[in-house]
Structure 1
Amino acid sequence: MFFDKEVSLFNRNFKDREEVIAELVSRMEEKELVTNEYKQSVIEREREFPTGLQTLPFGIAIPHADSENVLQTQIGFASLENPVEFKAMGSNEPVQVKLIFLLAIKNPNDHLDTLQKLIGIFQSEHLVNSFSACSSQDELNNVLEAAGLM
């Protein structure tokens, strides 16, 4: 359900958080998962309510926006060769992020449950490292299955 359209980027480099968000949203637009307004709403929300999490061994971000521009639920994934700076959820402190999980949740009632499930998974350094080590969709699917997300 969350990853069935395979919006995934592996070991990529981006200049900043807006560039990686734009690339993930663009792939979601191509698959008709979100409207063309979704990118701007995610970027604006990220500025006001940052989503960076300092986990071990490096930061993770879970950018998202309200469901009004979501056509079908999907989570986009990106692993980065070099981290980009996000701001920490709750504190606005800089977080060097190497994994991004872009949420596009259609049903607003599922939003909080999805966030809680992801944050719980990110408590496992082993799973964080496993996500980072993925270099293909098949490898990512195996980690997602092990994490209970497929």
Structure 2
Amino acid sequence: MQLDLLKRDLVRLDWEVRDRDDFFDRISAELLHDGYIRESFRDALAARERKYPTALPTAPEAVAIPHSDAEHIVEPFIAPVRLATPIDWHEMGNDDVVHPVRFIFVLGFVQEDGHVEVLQVLLQDLQDPAFMEQLDRARTPDEYYRVLSGMADIQAP
């Protein structure tokens, strides 16, 4: 995975949101303002999430990795967000199961299969309790970005 996909300016810490829709509204507004997405992104993201949920039951905490189709993306990105309080998110491949999620990685790719490699890299580290604790303890966006930049298999551009 290329480090340049991970956007320091998109790190968001301790957001308060009511639910998944509130999260989609907020992240989409910021991504649109910053020129990463098209106006169609928010609705596409929500529609894809309803059809293909993205919470992963990783331990020690479940994470969500929502994304949309490539036509809604202007510039490729990974937007890492840590919520102050978990919200309910349906499990990938098993939407009858709901997980409390605080760690969300919104993916935006201009190629349809771009998320596969990123998912593999993210999953490797997000299942490591020590790594997740570092993310939890990070107090500033810079600290959070530094932890994420140290993931295994991340490559400088």
| TM-score, length of structure 1 as denominator length | 0.92
User: Is 1:80 paired with 2:89?
Assistant: no
- What letter matches 2:99 in structure 1? V
SS of the residue 2:115 aligns to: helix
Task: Identify which range, 114-123 or 75-84, moves more after superposition.
Answer: 114-123
Is the contact between residue 8 and residue 141 of structure 2 (CA under 8 Å) also seen in structure 1? Answer: no
Relative contact order higher in (CA < 8 Å, ≥ 6 apart): 2
Q: 1:69 aligns with which of 57, 69, 72?
A: 72
- What letter matches 1:13 in structure 2? E
Structure 1 position 5, deviation (Å): 5.4
Structure 1 position 47, deviation (Å): 0.7
SS of the residue 1:39 aligns to: helix
SS of the residue 2:36 aligns to: coil
Is the contact between residue 121 and residue 147 of structure 1 (CA under 8 Å) also seen in structure 2? Answer: yes
| TM-score, length of structure 2 as denominator length | 0.88
Is the contact between residue 11 and residue 135 of structure 1 (CA under 8 Å) also seen in structure 2? Answer: no
User: Is 1:33 paired with 2:36?
Assistant: yes
Distance between the aligned counterparts of 2:24 and 2:48, measured in 1?
A: 12
Distance between the aligned counterparts of 1:106 and 1:20, measured in 2?
A: 22
**Which runs of 5 or more residues in structure 2 are unaligned?**
none
Distance between the aligned counterparts of 1:38 and 1:121, measured in 2?
A: 27
User: Is 1:7 paired with 2:10?
Assistant: yes
Distance between the aligned counterparts of 1:57 and 1:31, measured in 2?
A: 32
**Which runs of 5 or more residues in structure 1 are unaligned?**
none
Q: 1:147 aligns with which of 148, 151, 156?
A: 151
Is the contact between residue 8 and residue 142 of structure 2 (CA under 8 Å) also seen in structure 1? Answer: no
Q: 2:105 aligns with which of 68, 80, 101?
A: 101
SS of the residue 2:56 aligns to: strand
State the partner residue of 2:133: 129
| Identical pairs, percent | 23
* Distance change >3 Å, CA 29–CA 66, structure 1 → 2: same
Q: 1:42 aligns with which of 45, 48, 58?
A: 45
Distance between the aligned counterparts of 1:109 and 1:90, measured in 2?
A: 18
Aligned pairs, number: 150
RMSD over aligned Cα, in angstroms? 1.5
SS of the residue 1:34 aligns to: coil
Task: Identify which range, 93-102 or 138-147, moves more after superposition.
Answer: 138-147
Is the contact between residue 35 and residue 69 of structure 1 (CA under 8 Å) also seen in structure 2? Answer: yes
Distance between the aligned counterparts of 2:110 and 2:123, measured in 1?
A: 19
Which 4+ stretches in 1 moved above 6 angstroms?
Answer: none
